[in-house]
Amino acid sequence: MSADRHHTEDEQDPASQGPLDVEGHPIRDEAQRAPVLPGAAEVAQRPSRTLWGDAFIRLRKNKLAIAGLVWVVFVVVVTLSADLWVPRYFADPVSTEFAGLESPSADHPFGTDRIGRDVFSRVIYGARVSLAVGILAVSISVLIGLIMGALSGYYGGLLDAFVMRTADIFFAFPYVLFAIVLLAILGPSYRNVFIAIGILGWPSIARVFRSSILSVKENEYVDAARAMGASDLRIMTRHILPNAIAPIIVYGTMSIGGAIITEAALSYLGMGVQPPTPSWGMMLSEAKALMGPAPWLTIYPGFAILTTVLAFVLMGDGLRDALDVKMKD
Amino acid sequence: MLKYVVRRVLQMIPVFLGVTLLLFMLRIPGFLPGDPIQLIVGERELTPALRKQIEEKNRLNDPLPEQYVWYVSNIVQGDLGDSYQKGRPVADILTDKFPNSFRLAFAAIIVEIVIGILAGIISAVKQYSFWDVLVTLSTSILVSVPVFWLGLLLQMFFGIQVREWTGGAFSLPITGMGDPPDLVHIILPAITLASVSTAYVARIMRSQMLEAMSQDYIRTAKAKGLTERVVVFRHALKNALIPVVTFIGIDLGFLMGGAILTESVFQWPGVGREIYLAVLQRDWPVVMGGVIVIVLIVMLVNLIVDISYAILDPRIRYGGAAE
């Protein structure tokens, strides 16, 4: 929104005559005012405050969440554009031409590793693996979780008992152990890492979605839709899902951070992404033997994991506060 | 009460059967990498007679349902099969390793209880103070730190840097557990293992404490003229502790099941590391046996937590009985 439009609007309709929100208070927020054309207020078409518009306004006030968002966007842009600038100014992530360990310098800001690979470009390219695994794994979890949650919450009965007991079985396993056993079966590889993490994540999503459905499905609009002959699928996707999606979004955002940590842990143990693809976890496992002479090998990749995961956690926290109806200001 | 306990125990049975079924499926040849018979034979020459003997011993030619019954009844009797690599019974191997994992788990739980609960209380009682901000910020960071990286950093700092600064006079051991096991060796692994959970304990403690402090009975206690300390520790803390204790109890179950990452970083000879090494060597009986025992421990500890919760909080058992 442009600054001068905001300015003229302020002159033309003072806050007291501007659009009102549900409680009759004038809406002071510029995001809400922006779509209102000068003079349009009289037409009594005030913008409705949707859940998302509302949440966005509250999210914007949360500095930590915005910092998280900015960092995630930064990491995405840097790693996706890496091909354009990293080879020109820094060494290739897999090239070993500078054989040997070098401490950080102007040429190699994060130093080089045992066989002379540039740590800086490896950290940058490593972000691709982490982000891809984080996002793909959580997408798989959410997809399975939504289906299982819908089956158990909407239909209830035996199906519910079956799905929830299956979830209990998943919860009884320690997480990393389960992931390792699964990867031992599937075979360690890039693709199998996100499949394994994705499969392990569904029970939490299913539980969250199930409880949302249980609280939504008794509403009258659901009965109304059913009376009008809507199919189960349509009721679920059009009437229940939109009203139950907020906790899924919050949970999904936080899970991306968790999936990134798990990927790093699996790669650290050698059960994840395989060389030569640079991944943060694998870099740390290679760094272990050189902890004394080359601390930079341990510090930078770990810091990359920490900041990226923290960014997703902060975004998740912010979204939770922004979307939680009970926490409305 | 008895009714509640019985119902709770009965609920465990389908989960246990589900876990065993899942693991049983992995025994079916072709599911796991490597021919199981070849893995058992190892370097020896595989003669048809030897193959037949192995197949019979492991009931590989029986119909699957019969195999499953045989498998579960073995587990119930404590027979987890023999290790491919070591030839020893898996149960013996695990019996050797579990005490080390328990030791580490208890050390970590102590860190969790002392630091987590204290930090949570301070942060809640002095809300918005410097300490509160410090606790809130550091818990957010701690839950985002990969445990194994924290372990590496601690090793680097206390094992290597401190030794350099003090001219070799002082440093903490970064591997193993000493023989006999001693306290010095457990410090770094325990802190590493406890890190994430301590952050969660502090967060839960803080929010529970804040909620308890806003209750009417606290206002009443304050109005009666009781001192701040009595109000905080006698009245608020008791109620706020219940969810924290639950979390710690469940966490203890998971920690006792071995910590693959921490144990690997510090080469701690526990079950987690044993299972991880077994995965690398395709020693499936050790993996399966270890997983079964760990799941049983987790379920058992959860059961104890739930029952003690029901004893402490009557609403749960009445709510349960009404179902």
Quick check: A298 contacting B, CB < 8 Å?
yes
Quick check: B162 contacting A, CB < 8 Å?
no
Confidence band of A259 (pLDDT split at 50, 70, 90)? very high
What is the tens place of the pLDDT at every residue in B48-66? 777 777 777 777 777 778 8
For A285, B143, B270, the CA distances from B192, given in Å and listed in that order, are 17, 12, 15
What residues in B contact A287, CB-CB < 8 Å?
A: 152
- B164 pLDDT more than 70: yes
Predicted confidence at residue B109, as pLDDT, reads: 92
Report the percent of chain B where pLDDT is more than 70.
Answer: 87
Residues near B237 by beta carbon (within 8 Å), at least 6 away in sequence: B121, B209, B212
For A193, A262, A308, A316, B175, the CA distances from A267, given in Å and listed in that order, are 9, 8, 17, 25, 21
**Is A271 in Cβ contact with B140 (below 8 Å)?**
no
Q: What is the mean pLDDT of residues B33-43?
A: 67
Q: What is the DSSP letter of A219?
A: S
- B207 pLDDT more than 50: yes
Whether B101 contacts B270, CB under 8 Å: yes
Altogether, the residues listed in chain B come to a count of 323
**Is A177 in Cβ contact with B144 (below 8 Å)?**
no
No. of helices (H) and no. of strands (E), chain A: 14, 0
Predicted confidence at residue A110, as pLDDT, reads: 75
Q: Fill in the amino acid letter for B33.
A: P
Mean pLDDT score of chain B, rounded to an integer?
81
Quick check: A77 contacting B, CB < 8 Å?
no
- B217 pLDDT more than 80: yes
Q: Which of A160, A176, A284, A300 should we substitute to test contact with B (largest number of B Cβ atoms within 10 Å)?
A: A176
Interface of A with B in 187-206 (CB under 8 A): 187
Mean pLDDT score of chain A, rounded to an integer?
78
Q: Which of B154, B256, B279 should we substitute to test contact with A (largest number of A Cβ atoms within 10 Å)?
A: B279
Predicted confidence at residue A46, as pLDDT, reads: 57
Quick check: B54 contacting A, CB < 8 Å?
no
Quick check: A72 contacting B, CB < 8 Å?
no
pTM equals 0.81
**Is B152 in Cβ contact with A284 (below 8 Å)?**
yes
What residues in A contact B299, CB-CB < 8 Å?
A: 172
Q: Which residue of B lies nearest to A286 if distances are taken between CA atoms? A: B152
Higher-confidence position of A64 and A136 = A136
Nearest Cα of chain A lies from the Cα of B224 at a distance, in angstroms, of 32
What is the tens place of the pLDDT at every residue in B103-156? 889 999 999 999 999 999 888 888 888 888 888 888 888 888 998 999 999 988
What is the tens place of the pLDDT at every residue in A74-100? 989 888 887 777 776 666 666 656 567
**Is A313 in Cβ contact with B144 (below 8 Å)?**
yes
Q: Which residue of A lies nearest to B32 if distances are taken between CA atoms? A: A185
Greatest alpha-carbon pair distance for chain B in Å reads 87
What is the tens place of the pLDDT at every residue in A111-124? 777 777 777 888 88
Quick check: B254 contacting A, CB < 8 Å?
yes
Nearest Cα of chain A lies from the Cα of B7 at a distance, in angstroms, of 15
Predicted confidence at residue A13, as pLDDT, reads: 43
DSSP letters spanning B95-141: HHHHHHHHHHHHHHHHHIIIIIHHHHHHHHHTTTSHHHHHHHHHHHH
What residues in A contact B264, CB-CB < 8 Å?
A: 269
CA B287, CA A194: separation in Å to the nearest integer?
A: 22
CA A241, CA A230: separation in Å to the nearest integer?
A: 15
Any idea which of A12-26, A180-194, A201-215, A257-271 has the lowest mean pLDDT? Answer: A12-26
Tokens of B286: 């050790």
Compute CA B218 distance to the chain's CA centroid, rounded to the nearest angstrom.
Answer: 36
Nearest to B160 among A270, A284, A291 (CB): A291
